[in-house]
Amino acid sequence: MNSKAGNHGHHISQQFNAELEAIKKRMLEMGGAVEQQLSDAMVSITSADSGLGARVMKEDDAIDELEVSIDEECSLILARRQPAASDLRLVLAIIKTVRDLERIGDESSKIARMAVKLSEEGEFPEGFVEFKHLGDRVSNMVNMALDAFARYDAEEALKVAQTDREVDREYGSAMRSMITYMMEDQRSISRILNLLWALRALERIGDHAKNIAEHVIYLVKGTDVRHEKLEDVAEQIVDE
């Protein structure tokens, strides 16, 4: 009797672990789709491809549906399994991460919308070098954050959070450069404003990548670091 009960408990545990791995896999697949959306958005704006920009905007609906679907699955797991400790942290981290991924999709869609507007205006404004450089850095942040989640790597996640400081600095520098361009050539104001909106979207994507990194640190270490100094977080991770 006791042996059967033990086997049944082991079976339930295996099934629960499989459910957790499945929902994590779905989240990472959503992350891959969002990375592709961001990549396509960047190509659409740097190559003036309005067709690709329009397609990126349409793809945003699929990203929204994924968020709702994964969120519902997580809610069912919470209701059925009532997980505790690290299992509970994993489900909560997935819920928070899909929210940030959906918002990265929204910001990518904004970039694509600016690509369509810029292609309609013809001549490209100054500032594309700064824009592309920031885009490459932010895209790398998103990739690193998802990789850190996949491997439960708190140190890699910390690097993402630290990179966000550099993104903020580059964003400020690029903003100043583009404002200078507008002042020098008032005919470029409309075009550069569109690029500024796209630049702002990139900065926000960096913020969401940082959020995902913080979710990973919470998942691995059990510590909420959202309002802590990065230097203190680094010490905690190294000490442990």
Domain extent listing, the chain? 2-239
Report the 10 Å Cβ neighbour count for 64: 13
pLDDT at 48: 83
Please tell me the predicted confidence (pLDDT) of residue 3.
42
Q: Using only the alpha carbons of the chain, give its radius of gyration.
A: 21
pLDDT at 155: 92
Residue 10: exposed, middle, or buried by beta-carbon count in 10 A (0-12, 13-18, 19+)?
exposed
What CATH number matches the domain at 2-239, 3.30.70.20, 1.20.58.220, 2.170.140.10, 3.40.190.10? 1.20.58.220
pLDDT at 98: 97
Give residue 189's pLDDT: 81
Q: Which amino acid is at 96?
A: K
Per-residue pLDDT of the chain (240 residues; tens, 9 = 90+): 344 434 434 545 888 889 999 999 999 999 999 999 999 999 999 888 899 999 999 999 999 999 999 999 999 999 998 988 889 999 999 999 999 999 999 999 999 999 898 888 766 656 678 888 999 999 999 999 999 999 999 999 999 999 999 999 999 998 998 888 888 887 778 888 888 999 999 999 999 999 999 999 999 988 777 766 666 556 566 555
Query: What angle is formed at CA 110 by the lines to CA 54 and CA 63, rounded to 5 degrees?
Result: 75
Residue 190 CA to residue 121 CA, distance in Å, equals 9
Number of other CB atoms surrounding residue 22 within 10 Å: 12
Question: Residue 182's Cα: distance from chain center in Å?
Answer: 31
User: What is the residue whose two structure tokens read 């490459």?
Assistant: 136
Nearest alpha-carbon partner for 17 in 77, 99, 93? 77
pLDDT value, residue 236: 62
What confidence score (pLDDT) does residue 207 get? 96
pLDDT value of position 37: 97
- As a whole number of angstroms, the distance between CA 231 and CA 235 comes to 6
Rounded to whole angstroms, the Cα distance separating 120 from 133 reads 24
Predicted pLDDT of residue 233: 59
Q: Is 161 exposed, middle or buried (0-12, 13-18, 19+ CB in 10 A)?
A: buried
